[in-house]
Chain A
Amino acid sequence: NAGVTQTPKFRVLKTGQSMTLLCAQDMNHEYMYWYRQDPGMGLRLIHYSVGEGTTAKGEVPDGYNVSRLKKQNFLLGLESAAPSQTSVYFCASSYISSRLNQPQHFGDGTRLSIL
């Protein structure tokens, strides 16, 4: 009964370091998303994917890259971490978007601190 699993749950990085956040879903969803949540800002979309091998930019894509090599996995990369990327990152997945009413299922979040 895993749903959406994010790895790791916490991470502290130094400025300039790189890392990859992993999102895995076991619901066979086509769509996957990466959001960041900052205090007082709600959730903002970073990148999303409408299927295996496809990715697209969201509202705040700068400084991040993503890959969707397998349908069940969606990776978020930070090539050179900056303090402004300190945030809580959420991954989500949903059925195909032609049915807009499908709710997105969220992971538990990754708390990332950049020193």
Chain B
Amino acid sequence: AQKVTQAQTEISVVEKEDVTLDCVYETRDTTYYLFWYKQPPSGELVFLIRRNSFDEQNEISGRYSWNFQKSTSSFNFTITASQVVDSAVYFCALNYGGSQGNLIFGKGTKLSVKP
């Protein structure tokens, strides 16, 4: 079965703290892609990153970084020096070969960054 688990329902941090959002996935496919989306309070879904199953290099983009580990089926997202504007719901999603391009979403992690 294909599945994405985001065990952290809500996280609250104080501004400038680092925070890691966990994502664990399940799939039998050898070719798949993982995504992170951000949903700010305004409600839209914003694409953040995609990673394919053959590339385990970590990625850094400004204050954001992603750690993909196939051995543990995890694709974790870290925000360094968090800011109030990072407050949002973050979704991890899986796209696999049999899915016709459909995304399987985790239930999301609500991040609150307090000043």
A contacts, CB < 8 Å to B? 31, 33, 40-45, 48, 50, 56, 58, 88, 90, 92, 94, 96-97, 100-109
Contact = CB atoms under 8 A, between A and B. Distances in A.
28 contacts: A31-B100, A31-B101, A33-B102, A40-B107, A41-B107, A42-B108, A43-B105, A44-B105, A45-B103, A48-B101, A48-B102, A50-B101, A58-B102, A88-B43, A97-B101, A100-B31, A100-B52, A100-B101, A101-B33, A101-B50, A101-B52, A101-B95, A102-B101, A106-B45, A107-B44, A108-B43, A108-B44, A109-B44
A102 B99 CA distance: 13
Given A33-B103, A44-B105, A58-B102, 14 more contacts: A31-B101, A42-B105, A42-B106, A50-B101, A94-B101, A97-B100, A97-B101, A100-B97, A101-B50, A102-B101, A103-B35, A104-B103, A105-B47, A106-B44
B66 interface: no
Nearest to B37: A106
B43 to A, nearest CB: 5
B103 A43 contact: yes
Interface of B: 9, 31-33, 35, 37, 43-45, 47, 50, 52, 91, 95-97, 100-103, 105-108
A103 B100 contact: no
Contacts of A43: 91, 103, 105
A15 to B, nearest CB: 25
Contacts of B45: 90, 92, 106, 109
A42 B50 contact: no
The 6 A-B residue pairs with the shortest CB-CB distance, nearest first, are A97-B101, A106-B45, A42-B105, A42-B107, A103-B47, A43-B105
